[in-house]
Amino acid sequence: MKFEVKIMASIVHRNNRFLVVHYEYDEVSGKRKQKWETYRTLADAKRRKAEIERRQELGVMNVPTCKTVADLLKEYVSLYGTTTWSLSVYSSNTRLIRNYINPVIGKMNLCEISPRILEKYYQKLLQTPAVSRITQKRGTKDTGFIQPATVRKVHSLLRSAFNQAVKWELMEKNPAIHATVPKAVPQKREVWDAETIFLALDVCDDARLKLAINLSFACSMRIGEILGLTWDCVDISPKSIAGGTASIMITKELQRVDKTAMKSLEQKDVLFIFPQSSKRNTSMLVLKKPKTESSVRKVFIPATVAHQLESWKREQERTKEALGGEYTDYNLVLANGLGHPMERTRIAALLNALIEKNDLPKVVFHSLRHSSITYKLQLTGGDIKSVQGDSGHAQAQMVTDQYAHIMDKNRKNNAALFEEAFYRGKDPTSQEASPTVNPTLPSGIDPSLLKKISDNPDLLKILSAIAGSL
């Protein structure tokens, strides 16, 4: 069965595999030769088909002979990157090539590259000063040396590029497959518990930051999604709030993107470009499609957050009326005083100021999303699919692997639960067990739930907060 057929290339589904069929011209014989390439998924086949058609649109029937690593990466970016990468990935990968690959091994011939050479190269990178993303200067006070995590990104990029070189018959095998990569210790992200979040909200005197915190915690939204949210995607009608169906539709995000990436990818996934304050800027603010298809989602919001949005909208309308033509209306929910978009650096600065002023545990804004997902897993009894629907992760496993932080107090409860379930009263030599103290639940909670939640103080805090807001 054929999924798509075009003159340049076609995709054929056969035996649970997807075959990309295309023609290339042999430079020696001048004859057209049919090629069949096998892929496991339709998405991979479509990417390869787009790459082939991109090559032929550029008038490149055969990949030019690439002698050096730099030659290969130039073709790799032009033929593969422009059809496959997002704007942010394009910027990140081209930065790695420009700063860390070409200056060191760019002039080496492809035939010289081996697993041993790559391993020596990776070790050299670890002893090389990093390049600042802001100043593009090497070895500033803030950058230090290149970290193992960055080296692993370099390795991943080279492995993909060499894999394409094998497909293009420029290399016999991929040397990066067997190269040992430096281990990177995952950084433990600090998170706030519910008590700290509500304390921060109580002492926060910036309405925009308070709204951003609530949207991240209650709705599991990313900062780019919050800053790109527009009022046409918000349902806070009185009927919806009363019926418990107030919601937010996440369809876009605010992002600062590199101009070069915008040009190379022909404004891929960009929905709107905000006017620039200066032509000298090398980047621009845009509204773009979310990072994955699963990121487009509907999130139901608590009544308290819905009422906060109501109040904020009224305040915004008063500001627009007062400023008149001085206010530029982009329909953004979280706009600054003149209607212009707020950048994530501004939100980060406001959060840091709040932390410093009130001596709160130091976290980054994204940590609130971690807290949100953790508590939703707890409140739903581990309903990963429903939490995944709120978070917008492409795979359910990512929810538990990356965001489900287990708080120490919950781990301590495990011992208490085992004591209660298996050991209490079973050991004749044990001392008389200490009496169990039943916590006081907020009004409206069914007493039958006491046994289930009494050993989870975080659940009690959340339930208390919810009851207090009603």
Enumerate the domain spans of the chain.
Answer: 1-62, 64-187, 194-252+290-401, 407-469
**pLDDT at residue number 26:** 55
CATH annotation of 194-252+290-401? 1.10.443.10
pLDDT tens-digit map of 362-415: 999 999 988 888 888 777 676 677 777 777 766 666 656 655 555 555 656 666
Which pLDDT value is given to residue 4?
37
- Residue 348 CB neighbour total at 10 angstroms: 14
- Say if CB 122 and CB 151 are below 8 A apart: yes
pLDDT for residue 187: 73
Conformation bin of residue 381: beta by default, left when phi > 0, alpha when psi is -120 to 50: left
CA distance 426 to 410: 24
The parts of the chain modelled with pLDDT lower than 50 are: 1-7, 60-64, 428, 430, 433-434, 437, 439, 441-442, 445, 466-467, 469-470
Write down the pLDDT at residue 109.
93
- For 64-187, give the CATH class: mainly alpha
- Confidence (pTM): 0.72
pLDDT of residue 62: 46
User: From the CB of residue 441, how many other CB atoms can be counted at a distance below 10 Å?
Assistant: 17
| Helix, strand, coil abundance in the chain, percent, nearest 5 | 50, 15, 35
pLDDT of residue 378: 76
H or E segment and range at residue 180? none
Q: How many other C-beta atoms can be found within 10 angstroms of the C-beta atom of residue 115?
A: 14
pLDDT at residue 143 in the model: 59
pLDDT in the model for residue 384: 72
Residue 10's pLDDT is what? Answer: 84
pLDDT at position 457: 58
Contact 259, 359 (CB under 8 A): no
